[in-house]
Chains A and B, each alone.
Chain A
Amino acid sequence: MIDHKTIKIWINLYLDGELAGEELELFKQHIKECRECAQILKQQRDFVDSIRSLKDEIKIDFGDFKTELIKQIEEFKPKSSKALKYAVFAIVVVILTISALSALYFYSNRTDFVKIAIENHMRQIRGQLPLEIETSSEGEISNWFDGKLRFNFRLPRYPDPSNQPYRIKGARLVALNNDYAALVSYEMDGRPMTLLVAPSKSASPYGKRKVNFKDIDFYLDTKDGFNILSWTDKGLTYALVFDFENFDWKKPCIVCHSSGAK
């Protein structure tokens, strides 16, 4: 049995629509059975309804103000939020920074390899970079590099190298990006020529002219009086530096392709 004190508290909750579940059922049951509480409920309901009725008594003329305010609301155009603006700005800055760094890295990577190839060539012809193996045999050079490099590099072998217009002088290791690259020294028409070989992940070909030959892009450039031919093939990047007077870009290809036929 619910006491009257609880019912009086529940009356307001009931009238405000906040009584639910078992309490609501108990309340309804009690009101049915208790005339005193039913009377209090009626009085309180009338009182609450009289408060509600005051809503219509507050009559203030906001006519012009309301019309103007509605107009302002209707004409209001949403601006993108500051947070969205900052987010877009931040994304643009990040993209630009990444692009710039990538471009810088890519460009420097490409030019560095070509530059290093020229430097090595110059030091080699000045005698500052002695060969570590001196032989004209492609096989011996390939065997000498075996185990010294982190990549697999072998010179092509031809049946009769003595018939070729070039001569292999020897080879050595050179430093490149905290690792070793392979340098092979040649002589052609009495002029020195060096081939620098490195993995393509740490070296890229570069040159102002690009020629596609048998699905390989060859880059040609001239720097400090030297001609540079560079390309990437099967995971390795090659840079051939030479100073032939009558430059024919196909001519150095003989070192790998035997008389330029293959």
Chain B
Amino acid sequence: MFDKIKKEIINSIDSLLRYAVVITGNEEDAKDLVQETCYKALKSINSLDENSNVKAWLFTIMRNLWINQRKRNQISPVYLEETIENVGDEWNINPEELLINNEMRQLLLKALNDLPEAYKEILILRYFEDFSYNEISKILDCPLGTVMSRLNRAREKLKEVFLKIYEKNNDDRS
């Protein structure tokens, strides 16, 4: 079982690195965090059984490590309950274009990177790593309802930020 879990840890490295870059904001911190996560996971491998969700477990370890690191560095928490302009109904961007237009996709990536950390984090967990709401609630240690509402706000915020970047980009051109 030990070798099987080791293999799953190795297979999760890319996902962990992607998530680590998002939550730390830079490559070096991301590497340190992933390395520490893997080491901690290997040391506590005995706490797992065969049916454990290793990937979700790794993400939980990494997030907790990051939270503790932030506490040590006295980085103040990010407050999320901000007002979000509801852009859903006035979203005049053709999403199909987002998919095929490389330039627009780069703007969307910029918008994603500009999002508050908690929104960025939940979008990554859901759409990059395909975690279910239940798994996300365990990783983030928050109720299922919070996952649903935060994810909803994160999508809306992404649209809002993207729209601003897109419009500014168009203004700069003209």
Contacts and interface: CB of A to CB of B under 8 A. Distances in A.
Given A50-B99, A57-B106, A78-B2, A69 B35 contact: yes
B159 interface: yes
A160 interface: no
B84 interface: no
Interface residues of A, number: 35
Nearest to B102: A57
A52 B155 contact: no
A51 B158 contact: yes
A78 B31 CA distance: 23
A66 B133 CA distance: 29
B127 A51 contact: yes
Interface string B141-168: 0000000100110010011000000000
Interface string B88-131: 10010001101100000110110010000000000100111000
A73 B42 contact: yes
16 contacts: A12-B155, A18-B148, A46-B95, A47-B159, A49-B95, A50-B95, A50-B105, A51-B127, A53-B99, A57-B106, A57-B109, A65-B31, A70-B13, A72-B35, A79-B43, A81-B46
B13 A66 contact: yes
Interface string A1-41: 00000001000110011100000000000000000000000
A12 B151 contact: yes
A17 B13 contact: no
Nearest to B6: A73
Contact of B42 (A51, A57, A76): A76
B105 A53 contact: yes
A76 B38 CA distance: 10
B144 to A, nearest CB: 9
A12 B152 contact: yes
A44 B151 CA distance: 14
Contacts of B123: 51
A60 B109 contact: no
A38 to B, nearest CB: 14
B10 interface: yes
A52 B152 CA distance: 15
B99 A46 contact: yes
A74 interface: yes
Contacts of A65: 31
Contact of A48 (B18, B27, B127): B127
Contacts of B109: 54, 57-58
Contacts of B14: 66
B4 to A, nearest CB: 13
Contact of B17 (A47, A52, A60, A81): A60
A262 interface: no
A60 B21 contact: yes
B34 A74 contact: no
A43 interface: yes
B3 to A, nearest CB: 9
A73 B9 contact: yes
Contacts of B127: 48, 51-52, 54-55
A47 B45 CA distance: 38
Contacts of A43: 91, 95
A48 B158 CA distance: 11
A72 to B, nearest CB: 8
B10 A49 contact: no
Interface string B9-32: 110011001100100000100010
B80 to A, nearest CB: 18
A47 B13 contact: no
A18 B155 CA distance: 16
A76 B106 CA distance: 40
Residue with the highest number of chain B CB atoms closer than 10 Å, among A57, A66, A76:
A76
B99 A18 contact: no
B17 A62 contact: yes
Nearest to A81: B46
Nearest to B91: A43
